Structure formats: structure tokens, C-alpha cells
Amino acid sequence: METSERVHALDAVRAFALLLGVALHAAMSFVPGIGSVGWPIVDNSPSAGVGSLFFVIHTFRMTSFFVVAGFFAHMLYHRQGAKGFWLNRAKRVLAPLVVFWPLVLPAIVAAMYLAAVKSGAPLATPKPTAGTVLPFPLAHLWFLYVLLGLYALLLAMRSVLLRALPTQGQRLRSLADAVVARICTTPLASTVLALPVALALYAHPHWYAWVGIPTPDHSLLPNVPALVAFGVALSFGWLLRRQPQALNMMSRHALVYAVAAAILTSACLAMAGLTMSSAELSGWRRAAYALGYGAAGWCWTFAIIGAAQRFLSRPAPWRRYLADASYWIYLVHLPIVFGLQAAMQDWPLHSALKFPLVLGIAMLLLLLSYQGLVRSTWVGAWLNGRRYARQGAVGRHRES
């Protein structure tokens, strides 16, 4: 999802977030209790360890992605202007959503059908939660839909503020810069970004605490916690681009944030339990969990961005290759992952073998498909903004 010149550290974070999505979905069938919430693909060897991995990844992955998306959106907008920005986003975000959704959704349903046949259960697909408005099965491509909506909201708010307060524009920018600088330079100050997320989670009806921010994949009107959480992340990334030196300040405190993230995530997991459930917390436990979950996501995000800025700020051919491949991989991975899970769900193997087997085979197939079908074709030029020569594998980056 190329947007402009490379910022290697954030490019790595974006690829990491997308590729972690493959690991997250590969873990789903092994999460203890996932069948009780209506998920149709359930492995015969559940694992608390794999379930904990799923829980941890889910706390921060999309927050990190939307921060990076906001950073690159600011860069693109100020390089190409409003018209160029929307033409680029139509090609790289809207078009993949429109093209890939009808291709992957039937394959996802087929994988669920296979699981139902193997288990002898009636075919069941995940249903929207109670009260869902405008239900629609966006599946894992919801992030493209939400991203487009948040772009529009962010730019509309920016336009309204600058027009309504034309004489205060510079003062508003200076204030925003000061707030972002303070957040980035003060250890653990990023937790203030968790407050709106915690309030949205606390107030959300039918909030299943174990899953944290409800995934907005079943409706054309995203749930409020997702809009708030990812809107704050996108806006912060946008403002962060105004002072990229703040990335260096994040790198100084990356270890502090990582330790805080681990502590907060462990506390949330202890409150929620090792088994996925649709239980709803109440009272002070609900408030504490919502605040701790939001803070954990932001601490992980700052730790990952800071570590990337410290260790991955220089170009590396293999990282460039994975960054280019990650968008294609995420777009098409779900039917492959679910198909492998459905095929293996009854195998008499421990999850310690089956989970890496599902993930490893899926990644191999996805990388081979990228190399053979995308990298040197018009699809690569469409998704990544460039087409590599046929010999342009890892370590070679000559464009055609």
C-alpha cells in the first residue's frame, strides 16, 4: 500500500501489523472457548498459549497500523494535494476493497462449510452482535472500508477547523505539535490516548471484554469503540508526521513502553481469563479493564514504533521485500488460513505442531503467490505502486 517515499522504520511497522494478521487468524481455531462464541472452525487441540498470543496481538495490531496509516496519509496529502490524495486512495484502498471482497468471501464461506462437513455440524457463519446497524460481511477487509471513512472524517474536520478559525490556524497547529511532542517525549504519556478508547469501550452495549475493541467487520456503520480507537490512532499518526523527530524520542523509551505493555496486557488477561467468552464485565472491573486494555494497546504501539525506529531505520532488501508483499498477503490470506485450519482440525496432533504448521504452510503459499503472480505483474504495480522485473526477488529491486 505504497503512499510516498519510504520511511523504513514505519514501513516495517506497517508490514509487521499486516503480517501479524496472518498469525492472528492462524491462531483462531486453537483459542480455548472460541466455539462457544459461534466460531465454526474449532481445532481438537485448543491451547491457552496460542490463545494468549491471539489476545496479545489483538490488543495493539490495528492501533499500530492506523498510526502508521495516519503518518503516511499526511505525507501523501501534502505531497500530492487533496485531489492527488483521493485519486491515490481510490486506486490503492477503494479498488482493492471492491475487487478482492467478492473474490475472498465465497472462499471464506467454503472453508467454513468444509469445517462444518468434517465436524458433522450444521453450517454456521459468525453473526453480527445484537443491535448492529446496516449489517454487511466485510470480513477481514473491514480495515480498508474503515480507513476510507476515517480519511474522510479527518480531512473534513481539518477543513472545518481551519475555515471556522482562520486566524487561529497556526495557534492550533502549534498546540497540536506541543501535545504530540509531550506525549512522545514523556515516558508512558501515551496512555492518555487510551482515555477516549476506554470511555467508548465502557459505554458500549454488549461489549465482550475478552475481544477488546470489537472488530467492525459485520456492518457498514462501524461500532463506536472501533471508530474512536482507530480514529484517534489515525489522527495521532497524522500529527506525528508534522514532527518526525518525535520518532527518535519514542525509541529512547521503547523498553519502558514494552515492560508497561506486558504488565498491562497480563493484568487484562488475568481479569478476562484464558478462555474466550462473551462475558461482560461490570462496575469497577469493567472500567479498570477498559482503561488497562486501551493503555496496553498504546504502550505496545509506542514500544514497537520506538524499537523499529532504533533498529530498522535503515533499508534492508529482505524487509523491503516483505513490506511490498505484506499488502497482497493480507488481502488474500484468510481463505487459505481457514482452509488449512478446517482440513487439520481433526488431526491427532498437538496444537504446538498444528499451529506453526498452519501458519508456515499459509505463509509459504502466500509468498509464492506474491512472487509468481504479483511482484512482476500489473497487480504489483497496482497494489504497491511499482512493478519489479521478473528477477527482482529478495535483494534485487530493479523496476520495469
Who's near 114: CB < 8 A, 6+ residues apart?
339, 342, 343
pLDDT band of residue 172 (cuts 50, 70, 90) is confident
Look at residue 161 in the predicted model and tell me its pLDDT: 78
Q: What is the mean pLDDT of the chain?
A: 91
pLDDT digits (tens, 9 = 90+) for 173-192: 788 888 888 898 888 888 89
pLDDT digits (tens, 9 = 90+) for 271-287: 999 999 888 899 999 99
Residue 394 predicted with pLDDT over 90: no
Are 33 and 277 in contact, with CB atoms under 8 Å apart? yes
* Other Cβ atoms within 10 Å of 131 Cβ, number: 10
Look at residue 3 in the predicted model and tell me its pLDDT: 46
Residue 98 predicted with pLDDT over 60: yes
| Overall size of the chain counted in residues | 400
For 380-395, what is the mean pLDDT? 76
Q: Could you tell me where the DSSP H helices lie in 188-245?
A: 194-203, 224-240
The three grid cell numbers given for residue 179, joined into one nine-digit string:
501535545
Look at residue 399 in the predicted model and tell me its pLDDT: 45
Are 371 and 393 in contact, with CB atoms under 8 Å apart? yes
Residue 299 predicted with pLDDT over 90: yes
The three grid cell numbers given for residue 75, joined into one nine-digit string:
505525507
pLDDT digits (tens, 9 = 90+) for 325-379: 999 999 999 999 999 999 999 999 999 999 999 999 999 999 999 999 999 999 9
Question: What are the φ and ψ backbone dihedral angles of 135, each rounded to 5 degrees?
Answer: -60, 140
Residue 123 predicted with pLDDT over 80: no
The three grid cell numbers given for residue 169, joined into one nine-digit string:
490556524
Using alpha carbons, select from 239, 260, 246 the residue that is nearest to residue 305: 246
Cα distances (angstroms) measured from residue 351 to each of 46, 115, 165, 275, 336: 7, 17, 58, 15, 18
Who's near 132: CB < 8 A, 6+ residues apart?
218, 219
Residue 107 predicted with pLDDT over 50: yes
Using alpha carbons, select from 359, 341, 362 the residue that is nearest to residue 112: 341
For 132-141, what is the mean pLDDT? 88
Look at residue 4 in the predicted model and tell me its pLDDT: 46
Residue 400 predicted with pLDDT over 50: no
For 40-50, what is the mean pLDDT? 95
| Range among 10-14, 173-177, 392-396 rated most confident | 10-14
Residue 398 predicted with pLDDT over 50: no
pLDDT digits (tens, 9 = 90+) for 229-261: 999 999 999 999 988 788 888 999 999 999 999
Cα–Cα distance for residue pair 32/24, rounded to 1 Å = 14
Q: Which residue has the cell 498444528?
A: 354
Residue 124 predicted with pLDDT over 80: no
* Other Cβ atoms within 10 Å of 182 Cβ, number: 12
The three grid cell numbers given for residue 194, joined into one nine-digit string:
487510551
- DSSP labels, 92-128: IIIHHHHHHHHHHHHHHHHHHHHHHHHHTPPP----P
pLDDT band of residue 2 (cuts 50, 70, 90) is very low
Using alpha carbons, select from 185, 303, 301 the residue that is nearest to residue 255: 303
Look at residue 395 in the predicted model and tell me its pLDDT: 47
Residue 302 predicted with pLDDT over 70: yes
Question: What are the φ and ψ backbone dihedral angles of 130, each rounded to 5 degrees?
Answer: -60, 140
pLDDT higher for 179 or 94? 94
pLDDT band of residue 5 (cuts 50, 70, 90) is low
Are 399 and 17 in contact, with CB atoms under 8 Å apart? no
* Other Cβ atoms within 10 Å of 390 Cβ, number: 13
Who's near 37: CB < 8 A, 6+ residues apart?
208, 276, 277, 278
pLDDT band of residue 169 (cuts 50, 70, 90) is low
Residue 387 predicted with pLDDT over 70: yes
Secondary element (H or E) of residue 88? helix 48-89
pLDDT higher for 353 or 393? 353
pLDDT higher for 39 or 300? 300
DSSP 7: -
Q: In 3-state terms, what secondary structure has residue 30?
A: helix
Residue 125 predicted with pLDDT over 90: no
Are 351 and 46 in contact, with CB atoms under 8 Å apart? yes
Residues forming beta bridges with residue 219, ordered by sequence position: 135
pLDDT digits (tens, 9 = 90+) for 13-23: 999 999 999 99
Q: State how far Cα 276 lies from the chain centre.
A: 20
Q: How many helices (H) and strands (E) does the chain have?
A: 13, 0
pLDDT higher for 4 or 181? 181
Residue 319 predicted with pLDDT over 60: yes
The CA dihedral of 332, 296, 205, 275, to the nearest 10 degrees, is 70
Q: In 3-state terms, what secondary structure has residue 221?
A: coil
For 129-147, what is the mean pLDDT? 88
The CA dihedral of 140, 226, 74, 97, to the nearest 10 degrees, is 20
Q: In 3-state terms, what secondary structure has residue 210?
A: helix
Using alpha carbons, select from 208, 375, 202 the residue that is nearest to residue 278: 208
